[in-house]
Structure 1
Amino acid sequence: MNMTRSADIAVIGAGIVGLACALELAQAGTSVAVVAPRTGDHAGQASRAAGAMLTVFSEVEAAHPQQRVEVEVAERVAARAGYDAWLEQVADLAGRPAPALTPGVWVTASVPADRGELAAIAAAAANAGLAGQLHSPGDVPGLHSKSVFEALWLPGEAGVDAGELVAAAAAAAMAHPRIAWFDADASRITDNGTDLRIEVTDGEPVTAEHLVLAAGVQTSAIVRRSPGLALDLPPVLAGRGVSMMLQAVPERVESPIRTPNRGFACGAHLVARSDGRTYLGATNRLSTRPEPGRRASVDEIATLLHDGVHELNAGLRDAQVTDVRVGYRPYTVDHLPLVGRTANHKVLVATATYRCGILLAPRVATLIRSELEHPGTLDDHSYSPRRAMPVPDLAQLVHGRGDALAELLCQPGGHLPGGAVDQLGSVLCAALVHQHADPAVRRLTRSAPVEEVLPLLLDVAGRSTR
């Protein structure tokens, strides 16, 4: 590993996307400086709190516009196609085995609305030539839930031990002769005209001709601390997720098992880890002020356990909790990543992969390399940070989300009288639109105009009536 404090390219961030970019660029023959903590607990980092699943299709929702589905699935299919070869490259560079992929993912249906979700997922897989198959719950190893009535097998997806993967990628970066890793946070970036200067929290600045900003939810904070750097980036939002590691699970899962997305969050899921433990994930709530060191709340843990026990495996009650993790997933208003050149031609961005960072990392890295080698390649790409990004208003955000709001209050499996879900959903939607007169609601909606803001708005509405 080279330790010169200047390089052709600097990469800020050492999550899986940043590490993949560093390795891709170093393999292309350029010198790379990674600026990010190498040691410590990496509090709040999404990569190290992930399961993970290579969710090519199972992140699709029935409510997603077809154009969004086509764009997202096409990129995920491309990422999955090259994933095995990328793992082999990481293992070769690290001089140690990379984690093996566990073929396939199961998606379960527990409530009537899940039929539509599984149908949307199955359609996306079939359109990509990787059709799934419907099975009875008894066919799913490790699934023990009375509420599940159907399961979709997706052979085009896979599971991977995210912790082992990040460790292998970090080892590969440490071993690479063209990568220097500076174990510190980036505090500010300045452009002196000829190169970029990255000031760090501990040590002398690092300089580079180009910069890849792969700092996840810290991206916006770094930009704010660099007032002279005009990047014209859209805001990067933060989805706070809580997960836990379990041991002594009564029956170990083989391939990952998950529910569809619901309640403005990712589905509950179980993923086997290489050390014999089982990963249970994950909650997802918009966080307007990410706090990397903030521990999981009782409510977050209770929600996670409720979903895991009732929808995936009742035997989890007897498992032992060995670790609880918190990670902040970066995403944008239109839920597509930010990959490409910013308004400053020396600075590229690679972030906002939301819940698909583990899957998309090598794909994002190849896109960044293409843009550096052939400027303008990504100008018209769907991930371009310069793309138009329409901002929905509150009425648009709540449209068609009444059932999801009602389910959020009842939790999956909660029972209401016939027709009450529609009625409750309509009342909740109308109440939220009415609450737009509240300055707190307007500020929150302006800062995060995404559907994930709706649970927070319910909290605001509840407090205002007390």
Structure 2
Amino acid sequence: MDATRTADVAVVGAGIVGLACAVELARAGTSVALVGPRTGDHAGQASRAAGAMLTVFSEVEAAHAPERVAMEVAERVAARAGYEAWLDQLAEITGGPAVSLVPGVWVTASVPADRAELAAIAAAAADAGLPGQLHPPDAVPGLQSESVFEALWLPGEAGVDAAALTAVAAAAAIAHPRITWYDTDAVTLAETGAAMQVRVATGDTVTTDQLVLAAGVQIPALLRRSRRIEMGAPPVLAGRGVSMVLDAAPVAVTAPVRTPNRGFACGAHLVARGDGQIYLGATNRLTTRPDPDRRASADEIATLLHDGIRELNAGLRNAQVRDIRVGYRPFTIDHLPLVGRTAHPNVLLATATYRCGMLLAPRVATLIRTEIDHPGALNSHPYSPSRPMPEPDLAQLVGEHSAALVELVCQPGGQLPAGAPAPLGTTLSTALAHQLADPSVRRLAASAPVPEVLPLLLDIIGRSTR
């Protein structure tokens, strides 16, 4: 039978960000309705497919503008500074042990271009007062690669067992007396006077004073089903990632080991899990139609295994595959999170953390609590949903990423003669610029004007020439 219940705040989304927001608000004395599946396989959820690394600095890229690096790193440093305290809070609520962190992350260099990437990462860490140190490959526990020629140790970062952390955060939400968890999906949103209503799949309705949307890439579909909810917020895009859980490598991995970002994707990385297994992640490709039921493709698996075996640990070729996961990472055109109040006075966003969801979750939760306690407090914050977000020129976007296009077409394992990458990059950029004359291609590019759209455009070119 349908039922209507009330709460001060409803949080839609039960990934790590939604869980963190629900617990933080409840600790502050707020009654919370948490809407999202508690059971099942959580297909497509980014949190359940994550590694995870607390990447304060290693997400920096050489091409990033200094102003962007300074702002993003400052937020990630703030998140990292309070992380152990947050883990202790979760443990206090559950009555169990705190999830432990593995100090430090290794970032490897395998190709000449990686030197610039490691230099940019090292500079960001040094500016934050947490400098890294360069080491030879044989200093990296768990690294077994003929291609790596140096590695950067980042003591200011850390690894965490994402599965264990998500389970503890979920247990804290279940245990907290001010949280009511609806173990189902939100179907529609509606206004009712000065309040909001969330209709869930069981037929129940939650009436709430304020609504926090933390459902990641599911937010656009939820809003499409909910007429007349105007938020004036930027679009939430989806980056599809595939990861694996393997038997432990022949050489024990202690701290996480990763490559720099390249080819429109995050770096390949190995993270030890508490159960003695190894997490290998992760691919990243923009998709305009996130489908939680779509399984990993053979190409995604091949790319992931190639990167892991060739660049990180050759012994993985003999490891048994225990699990393959697909997760959709939410992100925005400017690649910054959306945290704060929207143009609708009752609706807040807590999403688009992209590849830093595990790290930023407690920081986002604190910001959301601040905005609910003090409306307008985040209006000038870099994560504010109301911030200006100019769209990049598509032709310029193509021209600026010729090197990444070459990296993309050479995966997995392709080699080019000396001097060939530059002209090939020019050729690919020219072909893509020409393809933008096609109205359907231009509509696709305009719907997601980010560098991650370029691989999709290459696919279109390939299909059109068959």
Tell me the TM-score normalised to structure 2 length: 0.98
CA contact (8 A) 2:142 2:249 kept: no
* Structure 1 stretches of 4+ moved >6 Å: none
1:39-58 pair list within 5 angstroms? 39-58=39-58
Amino acid at match of 2:143: L
CA apart distance, 1:419: 1.1
CA deviation map 1:49-72 (0-9, x unaligned): 000000000000001111111111
Separation (CA, whole Å) in 1 of partners of 2:94 and 2:225: 34
Separation (CA, whole Å) in 1 of partners of 2:114 and 2:248: 30
1:213 aligns with 2:213: yes
CA apart distance, 1:400: 2.7
CA apart distance, 1:401: 1.3
Amino acid at match of 1:403: A
CA contact (8 A) 2:4 2:207 kept: no
- RMSD of aligned alpha carbons: 1.1
Task: Provide the secondary structure at the position in 1 that maps to 2:436.
Answer: helix
CA deviation map 1:273-302 (0-9, x unaligned): 000000000000001000001110000000
Q: Which residue of 1 aligns with 2:96?
A: 96
CA apart distance, 1:232: 1.1
Separation (CA, whole Å) in 1 of partners of 2:207 and 2:250: 53
Task: Provide the secondary structure at the position in 2 that maps to 1:322.
Answer: strand
1:288 aligns with 2:288: yes
Q: Which residue of 1 aligns with 2:79?
A: 79
CA contact (8 A) 1:174 1:181 kept: yes
Q: Which residue of 2 aligns with 1:276?
A: 276
1:238-387 pair list within 5 angstroms? 238-387=238-387
CA contact (8 A) 2:47 2:162 kept: yes
Percent of pairs with identical residues = 72
Q: Which residue of 2 aligns with 1:25?
A: 25
Separation (CA, whole Å) in 1 of partners of 2:183 and 2:230: 26
Separation (CA, whole Å) in 2 of partners of 1:63 and 1:278: 31
Amino acid at match of 1:208: T
Amino acid at match of 1:422: A
- Select between 246-255 and 150-159 the one with higher mean Cα deviation: 246-255
CA contact (8 A) 1:350 1:368 kept: yes
CA apart distance, 1:25: 0.4
Amino acid at match of 1:296: A
- Select between 277-286 and 399-408 the one with higher mean Cα deviation: 399-408
CA apart distance, 1:464: 1.3
Task: Provide the secondary structure at the position in 2 that maps to 1:187.
Answer: strand
Q: Which residue of 2 aligns with 1:63?
A: 63
Separation (CA, whole Å) in 2 of partners of 1:202 and 1:85: 36
Task: Provide the secondary structure at the position in 2 that maps to 1:5.
Answer: strand
CA contact (8 A) 1:102 1:159 kept: yes
Q: Which residue of 1 aligns with 2:444?
A: 444
CA apart distance, 1:4: 8.4
Q: Which runs of 5+ in 2 are unaligned?
A: none
CA contact (8 A) 2:303 2:412 kept: no
1:111-130 pair list within 5 angstroms? 111-130=111-130
Amino acid at match of 1:390: P
CA apart distance, 1:203: 3.0
Task: Provide the secondary structure at the position in 2 that maps to 1:42.
Answer: coil
Task: Provide the secondary structure at the position in 2 that maps to 1:391.
Answer: coil
Amino acid at match of 2:124: A
Separation (CA, whole Å) in 1 of partners of 2:137 and 2:412: 17
CA contact (8 A) 2:342 2:385 kept: yes
- Select between 130-139 and 199-208 the one with higher mean Cα deviation: 199-208
Separation (CA, whole Å) in 1 of partners of 2:216 and 2:97: 27
Separation (CA, whole Å) in 2 of partners of 1:62 and 1:205: 48
CA deviation map 1:51-104 (0-9, x unaligned): 000000000000111111111111000000000000000111112223210000
CA apart distance, 1:193: 1.7
Amino acid at match of 1:268: A
Q: Which runs of 5+ in 1 are unaligned?
A: none
Tell me the TM-score normalised to structure 1 length: 0.98
Task: Provide the secondary structure at the position in 1 that maps to 2:221.
Answer: helix
May I ask how many residue pairs the two structures share in their alignment? 464
1:140 aligns with 2:140: yes
- Select between 244-253 and 109-118 the one with higher mean Cα deviation: 244-253
Task: Provide the secondary structure at the position in 2 that maps to 1:33.
Answer: strand
CA contact (8 A) 2:270 2:281 kept: yes
Separation (CA, whole Å) in 2 of partners of 1:414 and 1:127: 36
CA contact (8 A) 1:95 1:172 kept: no
Amino acid at match of 2:355: R
